[in-house]
């Protein structure tokens, strides 16, 4: 009997994953990854409740249950990476780094060492012979967050939810009487719960006031509490009153200045070519040609011509795209196959 360790987060997706695999005849063990336990001012970290929920479902299913403590590694590999990137004025994605470094590396290695044949998670994605495919539910598809996982790791991974839509998953969990069937999906940063990125960062970086400057006129329009908290294309949270809405079109980290405009057609906001570094291919690198790319999670797929410049990738887009910020990930697809991607320079 194939032994599968399921990453159980205490949510409905991973609960149903464990239930389905047990029904399919696998020898299932639930594993809660303890990645983050720190409370933030005014925000209690939900880890203890999530652990209790995961344990409760494991008892309900009659499967073994373990806790893997990755908190130390998580802090170094994910949290510090994220803070360092923001300090440089970039816009990183901690969920992508978590999948690369923790779920499909640390968890996989620990599970295999512990006697598992495979691992499984509640991600909305499909995998076939180590090839990553988009989920049937394109609205919930999570391949954007999985593009830095290796084909070797995916060959040892099961994604049972890839064939279902989210409403179906809820219904199936309900039919099985799973304790977490009606539990709301977690929001905010992947490891902290409901807290927003601004609140989280402010615990680790000093809030230094600086000027918000109109890019065209050079006029000072107001003050901000740190350029680190703003990202390209941002409209909300600027607190500049009156008239047309302002958009962030740039920032100078050394001067701690944020530049804004009311001009939605400002050239800084729109690009028709993207350069990617830290490129990762799940299997082999694709040939030159036309592919589909996703600039951020839930963004529509758009066509782009892919070429190489040394180790970097250059993408030429048919249509200009808005708010392409350095540090963000661009993920590249060939039809339903997720090939990999890279980080915007």
**Domain count along the chain:** 3
> Among residues 8, 28, 54, 98, which one is catalytic?
98
- Give me the pLDDT at residue 194, please: 61
Q: Are residues 7 and 112 in the same domain?
A: yes
25 C-beta neighbours (distance < 10 Å), count: 9
The DSSP output letter for 125 is -
Q: Are residues 336 and 227 in the same domain?
A: no
Cβ–Cβ under 8 Å, residues 124 and 161: yes
Kindly provide the residue ranges of all beta strands, DSSP E only, lying in the chain, ordered along the sequence: 3-7, 27-34, 64-69, 118-120, 126-128, 131-133, 157-158, 210-214, 220-224, 247-252, 257-261, 270-281, 289-294, 302-309, 312-322, 329-334, 337-344
Catalytic (active site) residue 98: yes
With helix as H, strand as E and coil as C, how does 56-103 read? Answer: HHHHHHCCEEEEEECHHHHHHHHHHHHHHHHHCCCCCCHHHHHHHHHH
Tens of pLDDT along the chain (345 residues)?
A: 999 999 999 999 999 999 999 999 999 999 999 998 888 777 788 889 999 999 999 999 999 999 999 999 999 999 999 999 999 999 899 999 999 999 999 999 999 999 999 999 999 999 999 999 999 999 999 999 999 999 999 999 999 999 999 999 999 999 999 999 988 887 656 555 566 778 888 888 888 999 999 999 999 999 999 999 999 999 888 888 778 899 999 999 999 999 999 998 888 889 999 999 999 999 999 999 999 999 999 899 999 999 999 999 999 999 999 989 999 999 999 999 999 999 999
Range of the domain at 228: 206-261
Q: Are residues 107 and 192 in the same domain?
A: yes
With helix as H, strand as E and coil as C, how does 136-150 read? Answer: CCCCCCCHHHHCCCC
**Which of 340, 263, 259 minimizes the C-alpha distance to 294?**
340
Q: Are residues 94 and 236 in the same domain?
A: no
Asked which of 197, 220, 248 is the last residue of a domain, the reply is 197
> Among residues 190, 249, 276, 313, which one is catalytic?
190
Q: Are residues 213 and 246 in the same domain?
A: yes
Q: Are residues 173 and 142 in the same domain?
A: yes
d(CA 133, CA 130): 10
Q: Are residues 86 and 139 in the same domain?
A: yes
pTM above 0.85, yes or no: yes
Catalytic (active site) residue 45: no
């Amino acid at each position: 009997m194939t032994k599968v360790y399921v990453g159980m987060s205490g949510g409905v997706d991973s609960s149903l994953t464990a239930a389905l695999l047990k029904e399919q005849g696998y020898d299932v063990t639930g594993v809660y990854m303890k990645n983050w336990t720190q409370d933030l001012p005014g925000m209690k970290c939900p880890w203890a409740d999530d652990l209790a929920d995961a344990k409760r479902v494991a008892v309900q299913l009659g499967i073994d249950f373990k806790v893997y403590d990755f908190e130390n590694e998580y802090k170094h590999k994910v949290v510090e990476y994220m803070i360092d990137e923001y300090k440089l004025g970039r816009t990183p994605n901690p969920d992508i780094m978590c999948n690369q470094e923790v779920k499909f590396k640390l968890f996989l290695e620990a599970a295999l060492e512990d006697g598992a044949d495979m691992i499984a998670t509640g991600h909305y994605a499909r995998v076939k012979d180590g090839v990553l495919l988009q989920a049937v539910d394109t609205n919930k598809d999570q391949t954007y967050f999985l593009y830095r996982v290796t084909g070797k790791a995916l060959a040892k991974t099961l994604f049972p939810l890839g064939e279902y839509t989210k409403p179906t998953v809820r219904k199936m969990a309900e039919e099985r009487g799973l304790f977490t069937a009606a539990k709301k999906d977690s929001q905010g940063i992947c490891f902290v719960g409901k807290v927003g990125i601004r609140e989280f960062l402010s615990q680790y970086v000093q809030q230094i006031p600086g000027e918000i400057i109109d890019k065209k006129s050079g006029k000072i329009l107001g003050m901000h509490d740190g350029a680190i908290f703003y990202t390209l294309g941002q409209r909300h949270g600027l607190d500049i009153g009156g008239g047309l809405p302002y958009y962030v079109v740039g920032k100078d980290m050394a001067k701690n200045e944020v530049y804004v405009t009311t001009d939605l057609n400002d050239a800084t906001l729109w690009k028709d070519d993207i350069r990617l570094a830290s490129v990762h291919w799940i299997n082999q690198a694709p040939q030159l040609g036309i592919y589909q790319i996703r600039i951020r999670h839930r963004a529509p797929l758009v066509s782009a011509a892919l070429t190489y410049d040394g180790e970097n990738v250059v993408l030429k887009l048919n249509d200009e795209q808005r708010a392409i910020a350095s540090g963000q990930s661009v993920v590249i697809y060939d039809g339903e196959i997720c090939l990999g991607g890279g980080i915007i320079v």
